[in-house]
Amino acid sequence: MAIERVAVLGAGTMGHALALVHALGGCHVTLYDHAPEILARAPSLIQTALATLQEAGTESAVSAKAAVERIAYADTLAAAVEAADLVVEAVIEDPEIKRAVFAQVDAHAPAAAILASNTSYLDVFPLIPNARQSRAAVAHWYTPPYIVDLVDLAPGPDTDHQVITELRALYEGFGKVPVVFDTLVPGYVANRLQAALNLECLRMIEDGWATPETIDLSIQHGLVHRLAVLGHMRKMDFTGLEMVRNGIAGRSYQPPENTGETPVLDRLIAAGRSGVRAGAGFFDYGDAPVETLFHARDLKLLRLKALFADLKEEDR
């Protein structure tokens, strides 16, 4: 079936951005959030994102205007999903809230609609009504999804294979890069790697081996260039697999244990340093408006993305 009408449930950090992604892809989108103030803020966030894409030259004023015109806003979940071919769930990572949302989708969406959850780490399939299991999947994105192209696609135990085929075709048509899993892998690939990196970085700070500054310098000037060009597995090929094997055999590295406790983060959060939106985290961001910080990040990501596309083109 052709996916033309999309309902996005949740208009926060990911939801408004996913509405934009699908609208830029040519779909007619209806965005809903249970909190009126969050839904009311979504149009300006979408316009800001589009302005950044135009500034970087990746979208024209004509395409931006067309995308905005393809996005509507609903006061109720029922109105959002009643004619949807695809329902994108992007609500808070709370199992009971998701269960309630899925029940409402089951009550009001067309029987043939695909239900795609943007969950980062939950197994959502036990939360979805039985009648929707064959048309349910995970479609997990990375922020900001209108720039970052990776999308993880995973079926549930009873998902019709055609659902994954349709989602893959849709997102490849958007110019995105779907990674398809045979079954739900907790954390997918990218989030599992980020989780391991988080544990190691926090262990090094807690034990006094490194500072946030030295960790970022090591990543930016030691890892990023090679990983961007080669990926990690190909980088091992270039290093030489014997050397990789010898390094593992030497057992000089032991991964940190995940105790579920994060003293470094606990101290920062208790001090009001919870990240960019608070003006400070590991680093100080002064009085810079959060919109300015995200705008600068997005422009750099777009420049890097353009350079990476040129490198990939040279490989062909």
Q: State the pLDDT at residue 314.
A: 73
Q: What is the pLDDT of residue 316?
A: 67
Confidence at residue 194, expressed as pLDDT on a 0 to 100 scale: 95
Q: Is 155 helix (H, G, I), strand (E, B) or coil?
A: strand
Write down the pLDDT at residue 274: 96
What percent of the chain shows pLDDT beyond 70?
99
As a 3-state breakdown, the chain gives helix, strand, coil percent values, each rounded to 5, of 55, 15, 35
Nearest of 242, 223, 226 to residue 234 by alpha carbon: 226
Q: Distance between CA 67 and CA 51 in Å, rounded?
A: 12
pLDDT averaged over the chain?
A: 95
pTM: 0.92
> So what's the pLDDT on residue 37?
96
Q: How confident is the model at residue 1 (pLDDT cuts 50, 70, 90)?
A: low
* Residue range 188-216: mean pLDDT, rounded: 96
- The least confident of 32-36, 207-211, 307-311 is 307-311
Does the pLDDT of residue 252 top 90, yes or no? no
- What pLDDT band is residue 310 in, cutting at 50, 70 and 90? confident
- HSE-CB of 59 using CA atoms within 13 angstroms: 25
Mean pLDDT of 287-293: 92
